[in-house]
Amino acid sequence: MAIASIASAVCCISLAFTSYVPMATLALAIGGAGWVITWTGFDVWVQLGSPRWVVGRTLSIYYAFLSGGMAAGSWIWGTVAQTYSLASSLELAAAALFLFAASGFVLPVHLEAEGDQQGSVYPAPAVALDLKPRNGPIAARTEYSIDETDLDIFLDHMRTRRYALARAGARDWTLQRNLRKPSRWTETFRTPTWMDFLRLHHRLSPSDQQVVQLLADFHMSDKPPETDLVIERTTDARRTRSQPAARVSRP
């Protein structure tokens, strides 16, 4: 991307200082190649850098910003060309492109491993109630027993866990410590419906699932941490259907 930006910048700076047609044609060819490589590369990067379950929405947001950015850039450089000159507009555009290319070398973007963008296989847990996809809200609670010497590492993994769950759709994530038994920690989060709970676990990447295993390794018990699932119910009075009013005949 940085090299393609440099090619586009060279095109702009060449057009600003030359009136020789063959030179301008060569500059436009270089700039056009940089333009095509830039946008093609961005398209591929957005698709590869997005989790599979959200790639459609990511692309729609990307193209919306792309169209808006092109419109804003056309207005900005058109205003500069109208206020000053076409050469000044091309020179400033080249400077902006060189600055963008420099930022690409200083702050490169690294894609995660391809497997990290894939979902996970998550069989639905066995429950005693006949839950429908729209039933909810669902609250999940997992208890851990953590030694004091492992507390800092446990909290670091929990921060990673919180980010992963929030990205997948969890709400109201909390980490609680028992005041009477400080070694006990409880992780809780909510999802609006049962279907959202299942989708959340399908969206977790393999690296997110590894965090679960790392947390289980710090659990001071022979058995892995057990997750309790509950469905929330309101205590409001039950709604009753209004009885139809009796018709009274009048003379």
What is the sign, positive or negative, of the torsion defined by CA atoms of 114, 174, 140, 200? negative
Instruction: Look up residue 73 and give its two tokens.
Output: 């850039």
Q: What are the chain's domains? A: 2-111 (no CATH), 116-231 (3.30.70.100)
Query: From CA 238, how far away is CA 235, in angstroms rounded?
Result: 8
DSSP secondary-structure letter at 116?
G
Question: Whole-model pTM?
Answer: 0.62
What is the phi/psi pair of residue 21, to 5°? -60, -50
pLDDT at 55 over 90: no
List the structure tokens of 110. 């690294």
Which is higher by pLDDT, 153 or 4?
153
**Average confidence (pLDDT) over 163-186:** 93
What's the confidence (pLDDT) of residue 42?
80
Q: How far apart are CA 23 and CA 205, in angstroms?
A: 51
